[in-house]
A and B are shown apart, each in its own frame.
Chain A
């Protein structure tokens, strides 16, 4: 890691914690060790919700690039999640593709969707962009509901479990490890992007568009890059989500889903990777912990959210990165 060899440039996406490279390795290894043994210690239920939380880590890190780094408010992130999932569903079921053959198309579809919607709209002010993305998310969901090829409201079922080099991914534990790997890749990718030329450009543009332009940064292009990369994260998450559940339907891609991912990102602390991961876990595990409360669980959870935001308005993870 060039940027740390002489301890000069602070590493982006972490906040003041974990700036020490050694400490960072210790924490990373501890977390990794925990993730590897978790399914053996805890039962299948915990494995399932941890899988879910790890999926959210991927989605949240993707949205974090859009919202946390580039400062674009996206209320329709579930659309990209849907594009990934439905591309897999349609290609494997309607066209008989193998999962791994369909997978690149899922990513490609997300890139296309990102460019088509982002291209003309990214110059809009944040609040207007929010409604455009919301509208786009709803358009995707309604289209999935109305089109024959996406199975209309019933969705697509019977999506086969993929196998990888002879390993048949099937059980919940298998998928758990798949999502562990995906989440790790997402973390590393986010981290490297944040500390790259492009990652810095996102921060420049977010802090001062005009100054960034004056420094020769094409803000529309840079924002589009953030949007498209965020879309890719979403689509990858969606593709494996589809394989994991084996069935997809429009309910999974609602506005609420977009909002939950956004909540996780902001709750943990936008732009701070550990914060975003924490946010993803809170948003998924919180309501699960409260299951015994029955119909009150969302109420209690929402009050909890409110309190967290009141006490830590910039998100849970400390540090100012992420305005």
Chain B
């Protein structure tokens, strides 16, 4: 492979990885937007999404096979199930806390994360579960750059979901309400907007996106595991902040940037895979020092 090929291939890698980060980061950012909560349980919803997708696929693969049709159906059902789980979590664990100090909800979120993780740990006894999707390794060769069909479909689905979300948020009644709630909850209440409903929808969508990512990850990488949400949760949080937390395009951008940083961090001489996370976090800190609200975050209001 020439240097050019390597760069191109790493761009493809960064794009795939970044798509996963972005999908998870979107939920983070949306939920942060409406209730100013860093939802640490979000990565675990991704994990649960992976398991639900696995269960659905196991049930239907006899009819649909383990190919993309089956995965697409699993993903869809997993999105619905985990979306509802997200709403239930919000109702049970976060909603009663909305008037509590902000950091208290953070602890609730951490507790929810522990509950989800350890429930799945108990059920699976910590075992890795092979996902059972049945994909070929086929793809297209562009010079020495190899792109699998799976990668294309994956990025396509991610892009579709993100564009769908953007349309939803900018064009629909609920989307507008969501943005309004993000700006001023109390005012929305006065204006007769069903704030609770908006929050529920936000959790539904955010969790569903995480579930989509979880199912896709399970299918694409081949296995699911009770702890799989931890690292990506952390990374998605990072991505959301790089992009500007609360900003939906920011989350997408942040996800892609983090994907590229990791891909190229691995490749860069003097950094290498051992230091790639240090590199990513150092870039993150620098971004925030020079652009304190993230790349696309709204700058703080004028003081006073």
Residues of A bordering B, CB below 8 Å: 67, 73, 117, 120-121, 123-125, 127-128, 130-132, 134-136, 138-139, 142-143, 146, 210, 255, 259, 262-263, 266-267, 270, 295-296, 298-299, 301-303, 305-306, 309-310, 313-315, 322-323
Contacts and interface: CB of A to CB of B under 8 A. Distances in A.
6 contacts: A138-B281, A139-B281, A266-B107, A295-B126, A298-B114, A299-B122
Given A146-B275, A305-B114, A306-B111, A131 B103 contact: no
A270 B101 contact: yes
Contacts of A305: 107, 110-111, 114
B111 A124 contact: no
B191 interface: no
Given A128-B241, A298-B114, 19 more contacts: A67-B103, A73-B103, A124-B292, A130-B38, A131-B237, A132-B288, A134-B237, A136-B285, A139-B281, A142-B278, A266-B107, A298-B117, A299-B118, A302-B114, A303-B111, A305-B107, A309-B107, A309-B111, A323-B101
B121 A295 contact: yes
A309 B281 CA distance: 31
Contact of B118 (A132, A134, A298, A315): A298
B238 interface: yes
Contacts of A121: 285, 288-289
A146 to B, nearest CB: 5
A137 B122 CA distance: 29
B104 interface: yes
A136 B281 contact: yes
A240 B288 CA distance: 34
Contacts of A125: 292-293, 300
A142 B101 contact: no
Nearest to A302: B114
Nearest to A73: B103
B32 interface: yes
Nearest to B283: A135
Contact of A127 (B38, B96, B289): B38
Interface residues of B, number: 47
B20 to A, nearest CB: 19
Contacts of A210: 303-304
Interface in B82-127: 93, 96-97, 99-101, 103-104, 106-108, 110-112, 114-115, 117-119, 121-122, 125-126
B241 A314 contact: no
B278 A301 contact: no
A263 B238 contact: no
Contact of B115 (A73, A136, A262, A303): A303
Indicate the member of B107, B241, B245, B288 with the most A CB atoms within 10 Å: B107
A255 B103 contact: no
Contact of B104 (A117, A136, A314): A314
B295 to A, nearest CB: 12
Interface of B: 32, 36, 38, 93, 96-97, 99-101, 103-104, 106-108, 110-112, 114-115, 117-119, 121-122, 125-126, 234, 237-238, 241, 245, 274-275, 277-278, 281-282, 284-285, 288-289, 292-294, 300, 303-304
B238 A131 contact: yes
B145 to A, nearest CB: 30
Given A131-B238, A315-B104, A310 B96 contact: yes
A266 B104 CA distance: 6
Contacts, number: 127
Contact of A296 (B93, B104, B107, B122): B122
B284 A131 contact: yes
Given A266-B104, A313-B100, A131 B278 contact: no
**Dominant secondary structure of chain A at its interface with chain B:** helix
A128 B100 contact: no
A296 B126 CA distance: 12
Contacts of A120: 289
B242 to A, nearest CB: 9
Given A134-B234, A295-B122, A306 B115 contact: yes
A7 B200 CA distance: 49
A210 B300 CA distance: 14
A128 B278 contact: no
Contact of A139 (B106, B238, B282): B282
Nearest to B108: A309
A295 B93 CA distance: 23
Indicate the member of A125, A131, A146 with the most B CB atoms within 10 Å: A131
Given A302-B115, A309-B111, A127 B245 contact: yes
B114 to A, nearest CB: 4
Contacts of B118: 295-296, 298-299, 302
A210 B301 CA distance: 13
B104 A128 contact: no
B120 to A, nearest CB: 10
A263 B104 contact: no
A304 to B, nearest CB: 9
By Cβ-Cβ distance, the 4 closest A-B pairs, closest first, are A313-B100, A302-B114, A135-B281, A299-B118
A306 B108 contact: yes
Contacts of B111: 302-303, 305-306, 309
Contacts of B119: 299
Contacts of B281: 135-136, 138-139
A204 B224 CA distance: 48
A208 to B, nearest CB: 11
